[in-house]
Amino acid sequence: MADDPNASDLELVRRIKQGDDEAFREMVERYHSRVYSLSYGVLHNAEDAEEATQDTFLTLYRKIGTFDETKKFFSWFYRVALNSAYSRARRRRPGITVSLDDYAPRFGGDGTEASPQYQAWVSGVEDDVIARDLARRAEGFIAELPDTYRDAIWMVDVEEMKPADVAEILEISLPALKSRLHRARLFVRQKLAEAASRAPALSERRVAP
């Protein structure tokens, strides 16, 4: 069973239902990093993400009896984690979200993409220092996305989870997930390109002295 993570999760779930605190501890050890990282994707703040992680495991402890063992544990549990994070997010002042259409690619009369001048930053991604700066900015751009798009891009592109698993967690079809993901990527791409065009250092490769 050890080579089947789902079976192991289920074993732990059954033991937790029977009041086995050691099984709960094992579950915390197994999932706390992933829950924290997922929460951070919603909240973009370390303290809030830590508190949301605690809320998630408290809910797990209290609600484990309602988990249907014919379903996949991780889908149920990630939904619990997302709900905890969004519950905390709602208590904060609402952030500003943007219209994706404002940052969709623009096309000229001949159908070609109308802003190729924004492309120079691409080579900068090969440079570690520039790439880290761009990544920091990208995190801010993701935070501006509407929730449904933010969840998709964070789980697939940052957490590198399988799209089919993410679709299951979000309870949407795979084509719907892929559509959200693509639109979110187009938005972040456009924002990165525009940021780089305003800060030329982000699109120049550094030359070693």
For the CB of residue 46, give the shortest distance to other proteins in the complex, in Å: 7
Q: Which of 12, 16, 24, 73 binds other proteins (CB under 8 A)?
A: 24
d(CA 190, CA 68): 42
**CA torsion angle 171 172 177 179 (round to 10):** -160
List the one residue out of 135, 159, 123 whose CA is nearest residue 39.
159
Contact 38, 44 (CB under 8 A): no
Q: Which residue type occupies 157?
A: D
Q: Pick between residue 109 and residue 209 the one whose CB is nearest to other proteins.
A: 109
SS3 188: helix
Q: Does 163 sit near other proteins (CB under 8 A)?
A: yes
Task: Note whether 206 and 129 are within 8 A (CB).
Answer: yes
Interaction residues for other proteins, span 103-122 (CB under 8 A): 104-105, 107, 111-113, 116, 118-119, 121-122
Question: Per DSSP, what are the bridge partners of residue 203?
Answer: none
Residues 132 to 151 in contact with other proteins, rule: CB under 8 A: 132, 134-135, 138-139, 142
Residue closer to other proteins by CB (options 7, 129) is 129
Query: For binding to other proteins (CB under 8 A), which residues are involved?
Result: 24-25, 28-29, 32-33, 36-37, 40, 46, 50, 53-54, 57-58, 61-62, 104-105, 107, 111-113, 116, 118-119, 121-122, 125, 131-132, 134-135, 138-139, 142, 153, 157-160, 163, 178-179, 181-182, 185-186, 188-189, 192-193
